[in-house]
Amino acid sequence: MAELSEATGIPVPTIKFYVREGLLPPGRPVGRRQADYDGGHVRRLRLVRALADYGGLPIATIRELVGHLDGGDRSGYDLLALTQMAMTGRQEPRGGPHLAAAERLMGEMMTRRGWSGSQTAHPAVRMAVGVLAALGELGRQDMIAALDAYAAAADRIAAVDLGVLGPADDRERAMELVVVATSLGDALVAALRRIAQVERSQPLRTAGPAAC
């Protein structure tokens, strides 16, 4: 186990905890108090650590995802969807006078883009509805009007994500990449967005107020 710890950078007590919780299969016994761990253990350990550290998932959820992975009862793309939903969490938008309008706007946008209507219960859809409702309360109709433009940008980013993920044949690698791409990818996109905002605002600041 010490070699497994050295190969992954994960402390031995943490590895023992993962084994006890059923997140990592035990090694092949080679002695009274020794076990042999192979490359499969290294990959699984890195996946579990990614789910816990980058995904922020509780042990029970990781155990469920790993169970699907080992059981072979899900396709690679089903596993991607399950991982994404587990990371998104569920936060229902609070009620209010703008909620119905937000749900309608979101549904209409998804129809225009040809996005699956079956996703209406997806946590991310409910999150977006909540954001639209909050924008309505703040009177930010300008941002609401830009919903299609935001969706188009998100679609382009999703295409890049799936290009990085590649085929979902390697189920363990695909699940790990979903976690990393979603957590670190979100952070990267947010950072680049802020840089782009500064760059695009430069000509406006340089020009200054128009002469009267």
Backbone angles phi, psi at 29, to 5 degrees: -60, 130
- Summarize the confidence of residues 158-187 as an average pLDDT: 77
| Together in a domain, 81 and 102 | no
pLDDT of residue 209: 57
| Together in a domain, 108 and 23 | no
Query: Has residue 95 been placed in a domain?
Result: yes
Per-residue pLDDT of 107-123, as tens digits, reads 999 999 999 866 677 88
Both tokens of 41, joined, read 């253990």
**Domains: count for the chain:** 2
| Together in a domain, 118 and 26 | no
Q: Return the top range by mean pLDDT from 28-32, 144-148, 197-201, 205-209.
A: 144-148
Per-residue pLDDT of 37-77, as tens digits, reads 888 888 888 888 888 887 788 898 888 888 877 777 676 66
Residue 140 has pLDDT above 90, yes or no: yes
pLDDT of residue 168: 65
| Together in a domain, 177 and 94 | yes
Residue 212 has pLDDT above 50, yes or no: no
Confidence of residue 133 (pLDDT cuts 50, 70, 90): very high
Query: Has residue 210 been placed in a domain?
Result: no
Q: Give 38 or 207, the one with higher predicted confidence.
A: 38
Confidence of residue 90 (pLDDT cuts 50, 70, 90): low
Confidence of residue 150 (pLDDT cuts 50, 70, 90): very high
pLDDT of residue 210: 54
Show which of 33, 52, 87 is a domain's final residue: 87
Give the Cα separation of 168 and 81 in Å (integer).
11
| Together in a domain, 122 and 190 | yes
pLDDT of residue 183: 75
- Its pTM stands at 0.69
> Any idea which residue has 């189920």 for tokens?
171
Region class of 75: left (phi > 0), else alpha (psi between -120 and 50), else beta:
beta
